[in-house]
Amino acid sequence: MTQPEILMPALMPGSIVDALEARFTLHRLWEQPDPDAFLAGAAPHIRGVAANTLAGRIDTNWFDRLPALEIVASFGVGYDNVDARAAAARGIVVTNTPGVLDDEVADLTIGLLLATLRGIPQADRFVREGRWPEGPFPLSPTLRGRTVGIIGLGAIGKAVARRLEGFDVPVAYHGRSRQPDIPYTYHPTPVALAAAVDVLIAIVPGGDATRHLIDRDVLAALGPQGVLINVARGSVVDQPALIAALKEGTILAAGLDVFADEPHVPSELRVMPRVVLLPHIGSASERTRAAMGALVVDNLVAWFDTGRPISPVPECDRLP
């Protein structure tokens, strides 16, 4: 029996490549000297795509070229890199990797919050640069006495909130709707949430619906002692407005794991003293990336064995 043919447009972790090669005919597009010529020949047979953000956006340009495509297995819980509506309209299933990374991303979020408030990377640089003998490290802001607002109280947002309960700080949240049986205070708009808290954590999906959800008005409402932590997507924050707010003292500090144009980070952010910058590492431990990779593979195997993917995105969960 011939194995289903899977296209991998860009390099993915070795464990995924190995597992897919054991089970499918895998085409590693990034290794092809002439990818367009290769695709012209292989496209009619390709039934699945395995992709991460290095592949760019998977949208109608790809769907038009791959007439036999049945499934796109995306590496990551956020799938703003895939046009899931267009896929669903053509009967193509999109899967993501929910659940297996919630705790890892929540841990990193708390780490980034404390690093930003207490200046942990700055203090580390202070010691390494031999500046301690010249005098003590400056006193820092604190988490004590603050209220934390979460924009996006989903699976990861709730894992962050649970951790914050252990830090004895009040939690509030914003989403499109109030959630029943949630003990935290709900605010119907991002501005209302920002005005009620002095730490704002963004952990919503990216895409058009959340573009610049955190804009100049939200930052102004957060106020001069306010701290923004963005672990969602760079598109969720108006980055020029954030840079202006940090420069002008509209807010106090920011901890950022995601950026508008990754991997490029504006030099203005890189030189700011009260900013902690991470290279999109929310889920990036060996253990969690392996679990995400296994779910990418399991989705493809389940689809071709049973016709039922394990974790289809909501836009595609009614497809047969």
Q: Which residues bind ligand 8YV (CB under 6 A)?
A: 52-53, 75-78, 101, 280, 282-283
The SS3 of residue 140 is: coil
* Contact partner at residue 75 from ligand 8YV, ligand NAP, none, CB < 5 to 8 Å by partner kind: ligand 8YV
- Which one of 19, 88, 94, 101 is in contact with ligand NAP (CB under 6 A)? 101
* Contact partner at residue 210 from ligand NAP, ligand 8YV, none, CB < 5 to 8 Å by partner kind: ligand NAP
Only segment of 87-95, 98-106, 161-169, 215-223 that touches ligand NAP (CB under 6 A): 98-106
Q: How far is the CB of 314 from ligand NAP (least distance, A)?
A: 8
Compute the distance between CA of residue 189 and CA of residue 151 in angstroms, rounded to an integer. 9
* Contact partner at residue 52 from ligand 8YV, ligand NAP, none, CB < 5 to 8 Å by partner kind: ligand 8YV
**Is 280 among the residues known to form the active site?**
yes
* Number of neighbouring beta carbons within 10 Å of residue 93: 25
Q: Is 50 in the site for ligand NAP (CB under 6 A)?
A: no
How big is the chain by its Cα radius of gyration, in Å? Answer: 22
Compute the distance between CA of residue 275 and CA of residue 117 in angstroms, rounded to an integer. 9
**Is 125 among the residues known to form the active site?**
no
- Which one of 69, 72, 204, 296 is in contact with ligand NAP (CB under 6 A)? 204
Name the residue with the smallest CB distance to ligand 8YV.
Answer: 76
Catalytic-labelled residue, pool 27, 47, 187, 233: 233
State the burial class of residue 130 (Cβ atoms within 10 Å of its Cβ: 0-12, 13-18, 19+): exposed
- Which one of 51, 88, 160, 258 is in contact with ligand NAP (CB under 6 A)? 258
Only segment of 56-64, 84-92, 164-172, 208-216 that touches ligand NAP (CB under 6 A): 208-216
Map tokens 């070795």 to a residue: 14
Q: Taking a C-beta distance cutoff of 8 angstroms, is the pair 47, 68 a contact?
A: yes
Compute the distance between CA of residue 57 and CA of residue 278 in angstroms, rounded to an integer. 23
Only segment of 13-21, 110-118, 148-156, 191-199 that touches ligand NAP (CB under 6 A): 148-156
Residue placing its CB nearer to ligand NAP in the complex, 50 or 258:
258
Compute the distance between CA of residue 311 and CA of residue 20 in angstroms, rounded to an integer. 18
Q: Is 206 in the site for ligand NAP (CB under 6 A)?
A: yes
Q: Long-range pairs for 189-192 at CB < 8 Å and ≥24 separation?
A: 190/151, 190/214, 190/218, 191/217, 191/218, 191/221, 192/221
Amino acid identity for residue 10 in this structure: A
Compute the distance between CA of residue 161 and CA of residue 203 in angstroms, rounded to an integer. 11
Question: How many H helices and E strands in the chain?
Answer: 12, 12
Site for ligand NAP, rule CB under 6 A? 77-78, 98, 101, 105, 152-157, 175-177, 203-206, 209-210, 213, 231-233, 257-258, 280, 282-283
Catalytically active residues are: 233, 262, 280
